[in-house]
Structure 1
Amino acid sequence: MDTEKKRLIFFALIAVAMFFGWEYVMNTVFPERATRAKTPAPVTASAPAVQGGASDASAKLAVQDGAALARGQRVSVKTDLFAAEIDSNGADLRRVELLKHGASGEPGKNFVLLQDDGQRTYVAQTGLIGDGLPSHKTEFKAAKTAYQLAEGQNELAVRLEAAGPDGVKVAKTYLFKRGSYVVDVKYEIANASDKPVSASAYYRFLRDGVTTDGGTFGSSTFTGPAVYTSEGKFQKVEFADIDKKKAKYVQQSKDGWVAMLQHYFATAWVVSPVQGASACAVQECRYELKKLPEGLYSAGVIVDLPQVAAGAKSEATMPLFLGPEETRVIKNVAPGLDLVKDYGWVTVIASPLFMLLDMLHQVLGNWGWAIIVLTVLIKAAFYPLSAASYRSMAKMRLIQPRMEQLKERCGDDRVKLQQAMMELYKTEKINPLGGCLPILVQIPVFIALYWALLASVELRQAPWLGWITDLSVRDPYYVLPILMAISMYVQSLMSPPPPDPVQAKIMKAMPLVFSIMFLTFPAGLVLYWIVNNTLSIVQQWMINRTADKEGVASLKS
């Protein structure tokens, strides 16, 4: 194999490796960039000493965590958004299907968010800590085994009751609301005994550590718990860090939320909602992330409840979010909850890009057309810069005959040829790197839009037209990647060939290389690239046409 071919293969491999490895490096070497907020150093703290003792409450809870989930009678719940099941054992929310979102790869079926079917475990669990009070292992009873939100009904309350110590009764009520992914979980403690009752309530998610999202070319989305407080801001915690007991997060606060995240969907116990009082307004709550037996992980919060006097009643409510990471939804649930929609380290660009895309969708009613219009707007914004670059490329194309003459005069003397070429560039006021600017300008926007499309559940299973029924996944027939390759090839024909023959061959191979890489990219992203290339071709053609008419002489100014 001759030297030129070796160099060609080498440079091609370098280009591919750089493209494939970029996101992997940014997420592996600089994982802190994926934390979507500027936060102070994570704070760890010992358990607070509060009434009843949060340390003691946590210890009592740990004693009960040794066995697998027991199964009791199921209470089914059907609303406009959920098909849910509550287990009588602990009155836990064991299964939740989202009726407005299709299953991955099977849009005709409901997406299952919570489940305990033996293969996967992901449930919302609560209980009380106190002498004889009902925990997640206590048997509850409901008046019915099936509840349904009726037509014209805005709220549906599902009440389950259990007996506590002598003279104490506890009720746990799930309040489902029409059109809302927030379920209010309320405890009622009726103390008919002759002495006061002290209690703590725990709210947590139990989930296995299985992650199924491998991402694209090393760009995987986060799966695991997260804690948000006003002090520590948004803090994601890897399952691996919990395993190693290296989890760093704020452990006590009067506000915030604790969540379990995965691609497109999230669940969160909301301590301080946008509307309403914080559950920890009186004293600080304790956030707790830990590993449990049976390969499960717990992410929750412990709230110390006001003491219930003899003969009195007390209520405590904690909002539970169960749903998609839709920006318009999560921003109204709790402060900082919009951060679960993770754009990675390009948030500063991706977030406003999606806001503009969402505005366009509100007008056009189709995400595909919104992407096309967004591309036009981005192209218009960068028009002056790209026009200057294309004029430089047009000049390069016009002086190609003179470049060939220089090559003939200089022969094999590469140093002399380079000097002569630089002198020609200086005379004609040409920047040989000017033609690279359009690509360099597009790269940050391209990466940001990639993450916006990757993280936005709004585009999940969103159709455009014809065969494109889901803009968040690859084109099933690879039509868009082929069209993108064609557009890139046309662009290469309109651009002046690099003076180095090896570089020229690399540029000719780039349309093929990129089309292969884009085969698995989201259709929405490939659509953006095609429209952008098409607009670039039109712009470059117009500039080339003007340059051809004016000639080299007029371009010297």
Structure 2
Amino acid sequence: MDLQRRTLLAIVSCVLIWLVYERFFAPPLPEPQPQPAASAKKEEADAKAAEERAEERKAAAAPKVPVADHRLKTELLALDVTNHRGLVRGTELLSKHFINPDGKGEDFLKLDGNRSLVIGFDGSETDFKFPRDPAWEPTGKSDTQWAVAFKNGDVEVKGTLDLTSGYEGTLTVDVANRSAETQQHRLTLLSAFGIGAENSYDVHRGVCATADDWEAYTPSDVKDSSGEVRGRIRWAALDSKYFASAVVPTPEVAVQSCRVGQTTDGKALTTTLAVEPVTLAAGESHQYVFGVYFGTKELERLEKYQAVPGVHLEDMIDWGWFGGLNRLLGEWMIWLLRAFYNLTGVWGVAIILLTIVVKVLTLPLTFKQMRSMKKMREIQPELEEIKKKYGEDRVRQAQEMQALFQRAGVNPLAGCLPMLIQLPIWIALYATLNTAVELYRVPFLWLPDLTQQDPYYILPLAMGALMYIQMKATPSGVDNEQARMMAWMMPVIFTVMMLFLPSGLGVYIFANVLLSLIQTLIQVRPTQTAAVKKS
């Protein structure tokens, strides 16, 4: 029993370490690689060249054009667009699920005066003069399209933003050489995402993806200097736990670098895509097409992104440890969660039903675990006798214990194997509920939002009490001191952790502990009663 209990304690300790690491220490994604010195020097040279051209750009500024605002709409999204500084100034989610108490939909971009989809040019690799704040002239608009243009004697630039359906759209940029000479230019496209109130369960990130890998940067990563990924960029995204904006170059657009930084006021995280330089003869033009996404991080929607085929925007979902396995298990868990919601109409009940299903599926394993623990408990007195008899002879002690295990038909590790098999399922369920946008701002009983912690701490305290009862009811060996320590230590640790967990996860943990307690009482109490009668 001592070996089995130590193994069990080791496994539980590993799980606790993982949960504490995820809660307090884990970065949401792999740490960004440091930039080489050559890259830093090039950045300095680029910045210096840009400063030298500043006066030229000011001189190139066209007469001021009145600010014009417009709203694009699909069935799920309203995009507030403008001709001032950048194309996008705000969002509004139109689904009933995201309507705030004031009657307005969620503006997840939270730009707070900043702009997204800012068309620009790298001054160090662009021959014509383009102002930092060009006077974009509105040239066309509809419910799903916004078109603007800028022109001077050297160049004409057109930007057309189309919303196609859902959260998807395209951005088309046309650059025409209006001078009598050959010109080179390097297009840049800046996106922004408001940082808002940061917390450990809603970390904002800038993500740059190549064909083989991706890097993610948090605001703290780019507080002092920007992060950059070089190579053929497949897509770039800015996201929080539940929402994202993304820019996806079409295969014809060769984006060479993706830089993540912050706006000057520190209120928004940014990504800047830099396309490879293009040379245009006099009178020639060139077109760039990007797919765009402004919406929720629902796995199904990201997987079916259609604006640019062949990309995997679903990779931006953070599945935590065992990412591939978590995603595989998480997909069917999300399907079940939605099915139970469609059946009951209450997300909290759907979580409880999902917990029951997972518990039922793992019942054979838990029954095997409990049987093994009871067998170990039955032979515990004999194990203690062996320890006393061969206390100084460790080799003989191990031999006698092994012989006892064989006579009793007991495997000391059999009680831990089911827990090891269940561990990936528990972690996948944790990751699924931790990233399910379906729970965003959904109330349940006294809980105002299943993605936020319980404001009254009822769930953590109730769970701690149930876990204490379960620990007391679970079979233990002769080592009463160890049993007493486990009986209070485990509930205290889990209670403290649950104080800060999203309440949707709290509902799952509470339901799981309650079901485990019921199972323990059903399986253990009859055996204990029979033992008392026999004695």
2:249 aligned with 1:262: no
TM-score by length of 1: 0.71
2:133 match:
137
Instruction: Within 5 Å, give how 1:303-314 maps onto structure 2.
Output: 303-304=275-276, 307-308=279-280, 310-311=282-283, 314=286
Q: Which of 331, 335, 350 lines up with 2:303 in the alignment?
A: 331
| Cα distance change of structure 1 residues 229 and 43 upon mapping to structure 2, 3 Å threshold | farther
1:73 match:
67
* CA drift at 1:229: 1.0
* CA distance, structure 2, for counterparts of residue 101 and residue 133 of structure 1: 46
* CA distance, structure 2, for counterparts of residue 326 and residue 178 of structure 1: 15
Whichever residue aligns with residue 382 of structure 1, its letter is T
Identity of matched residues, %: 25
2:291 aligned with 1:319: yes
Whichever residue aligns with residue 116 of structure 2, its letter is V
1:10 match:
none
* CA drift at 1:19: 7.2
* CA distance, structure 2, for counterparts of residue 71 and residue 294 of structure 1: 25
Instruction: Within 5 Å, give how 1:467-482 maps onto structure 2.
Output: 467-468=446-447, 470-482=449-461
Whichever residue aligns with residue 257 of structure 2, its letter is R
* CA drift at 1:92: 3.2
**8 Å CA contact retained: 1:228, 1:234:** yes
* CA distance, structure 2, for counterparts of residue 405 and residue 24 of structure 1: 35
Whichever residue aligns with residue 261 of structure 1, its letter is D
2:195 aligned with 1:214: no
2:108 aligned with 1:127: no
1:279 match:
253
Secondary structure of 1:339's match?
helix
**8 Å CA contact retained: 1:265, 1:324:** yes
Q: Which of 200, 208, 222 lines up with 2:186 in the alignment?
A: 200
1:383 match:
363
Secondary structure of 2:117's match?
strand
1:8 match:
none
Whichever residue aligns with residue 229 of structure 1, its letter is T
1:223 match:
204
* CA distance, structure 1, for counterparts of residue 332 and residue 354 of structure 2: 8
**8 Å CA contact retained: 2:185, 2:279:** yes
* CA distance, structure 2, for counterparts of residue 498 and residue 213 of structure 1: 46
* CA drift at 1:240: 4.9
* CA distance, structure 1, for counterparts of residue 383 and residue 284 of structure 2: 96
2:80 aligned with 1:85: yes
Q: Which of 273, 277, 280 lines up with 1:301 in the alignment?
A: 273
* CA drift at 1:457: 2.1
Secondary structure of 2:84's match?
coil
Whichever residue aligns with residue 205 of structure 2, its letter is G
Q: CA RMSD, aligned part only?
A: 4.9
1:153 match:
none
Whichever residue aligns with residue 152 of structure 2, its letter is G
Instruction: Within 5 Å, give how 1:33-112 maps onto structure 2.
Output: 34-35=29-30, 73-79=67-73, 80-100=75-95, 109-112=104-107
* CA distance, structure 2, for counterparts of residue 515 and residue 243 of structure 1: 34
* CA distance, structure 2, for counterparts of residue 85 and residue 306 of structure 1: 31
| Cα distance change of structure 1 residues 26 and 518 upon mapping to structure 2, 3 Å threshold | closer
**8 Å CA contact retained: 2:260, 2:272:** yes
* CA drift at 1:202: 1.0
* CA distance, structure 1, for counterparts of residue 425 and residue 100 of structure 2: 28
Whichever residue aligns with residue 197 of structure 2, its letter is T
* CA drift at 1:438: 5.6
1:349 match:
325
2:164 aligned with 1:177: yes
| Cα distance change of structure 1 residues 467 and 352 upon mapping to structure 2, 3 Å threshold | farther
* CA drift at 1:469: 5.3
| Cα distance change of structure 1 residues 60 and 137 upon mapping to structure 2, 3 Å threshold | farther
* CA drift at 1:113: 3.1
2:441 match:
461
1:504 match:
483
* CA drift at 1:89: 3.0
**8 Å CA contact retained: 2:91, 2:109:** yes
TM-score by length of 2: 0.74
**8 Å CA contact retained: 2:333, 2:432:** no
* CA distance, structure 1, for counterparts of residue 300 and residue 13 of structure 2: 38
* CA drift at 1:107: 8.7
**8 Å CA contact retained: 1:237, 1:248:** no
Secondary structure of 2:318's match?
coil
What runs of 5+ residues in structure 2 fail to find an aligned partner? 1-9, 58-63
1:188 match:
174
